[in-house]
Structure formats: C-alpha cells, structure tokens
Amino acid sequence: MKRYLVEIVVGIVMVLLFLAVSAWQSSETLTEAEVDQYIDIMEKNLPVEIEDRDEFIARMRDWGKSDDGKPVYMLNLMRFYDQIKPVPGVPETITPMEANEHYEDVMGPKLIKSGSYPYFGGDTSGISEGQEKSNLVVYEPELDNWDRVLIVRYTGRRAFFDLVTDPEYLKVEPYKRASLKVVLAPLSRDIGIPDLRWIAGGIGLTIFLLVGWIRSTRRAK
C-alpha cells in the first residue's frame, strides 16, 4: 500500500479536479418562471435608446424558454465605429477600441467565473494589405467589413442570461454599444477539433507515461 501511496494521492487529486471542473462547467435548464424573471430585469434596466430593444427582449424570451440545457457557442461579429458613438456615461475622448477593451476587462473575469470562456477569437486579416474589405464572398454589402470575430462558450443559456442581467454588465454595456456594431448568433457545436499538434502531443505524452509506469511496475516485481 505504501509503495503506491503517491500514485493513490495523485489519482484522488485528479478525480477531485475532474469533478470540480465538471461542476464549474455544468448548467441547469431554465424554467419559464426563471426566464420571465430575467426578462423583467432586462425590461427594467436596458436603456430605451438601444436599437431594436423590444425585438431583442422578445427574441431573448423565446430563446430562453426553448432552453435545452446544452452549452451555447455565441458567435460575435464585431465592426468598430470610426469614432466613439455618443452614449450617456461613455467619455467621448476615448477610441472605440479603448471603449471595448474597458468592457472586456470588466466582463472577462465574470465570464470565467461563471464557467464560460472565449472559445475562439481573432481580428479579420483582410483580403490583402491595404484592402479594407474583409470577406472573400459577399452577397449583402452590410455583411462585409467585420473587424473582429469572437466565439464564446457559455455553460448554458442560464449563464448568458446571468451575464446580461448582471449589475456590472449593465454599467459597462454602454461602452460596448458606443464602440461597435455586433451580431450575436447562438450556435450548437457539431464539430470542434483542437489543433492537431496538441492532440499528437497529448497522445505521445500518454504513451510515454504509460510505458514508464509499466516498466517501473515490472522492476518493482
């Protein structure tokens, strides 16, 4: 027993770590009553000057009441304004990028705390140097020239509702609204393959550790 004490302790720690991460990443399905409570908070706190405010709230209500309890991958298509948009509470002396950075600095830790995190993010690279157009194929002019794409993984729809009704979010939301135009599209993940180099490295490390464990076990006998 003492011979394998270290292995036993490490095994217990790994199991506890797995259970802790699983609990952190879990989310319960929303009930209709809970959705109504979230919507009530949004109706009372979202500024009336938000574009398409009523339609946004109506879509959020329908989306919440159709919760399937699964994780949500939220696609964010972002286009920065040329200049900061006049919004109450946001200094007009900062740039759109600075305003969005302030928003992300405040909300980033809250996102991680809830078990959600950025799954993918990057700036559009453009077609060529000096070329403003970002898309190779465009069927609608207003769909071109996105500056940044971000996919955020939420543990579930509850986590997203928690975010947009959080008092801190309501304080910094004007910074995002003043800095950019955004399209939000919830996705369900069918395919998600990490960098194959990490997969190959993980397999190699597993084989290495397994061979080492087998050899040490044989020597112990």
* Structural domains in the chain, sorted by start: 24-127+137-191 (3.30.70.100)
Rounded Cα–Cα distance for residues 211 and 220 (Å)? 14
Q: Which residue has the tokens 């949004």?
A: 42
Q: Which residue has the tokens 């910074």?
A: 175
Whole-model pTM: value is 0.80
* Predicted confidence pLDDT, tens digits, the chain (221 residues): 566 677 678 778 888 888 888 888 888 999 999 999 999 999 988 876 677 788 889 999 999 999 999 999 999 999 999 999 999 889 999 999 999 999 999 998 999 988 999 988 888 876 556 556 566 776 666 667 788 899 999 999 999 999 999 999 989 999 999 999 998 999 987 777 777 788 888 888 888 888 877 877 776 66
* Crossing angle for the helix pair 32-45 and 157-164, to the nearest 10 degrees: 20
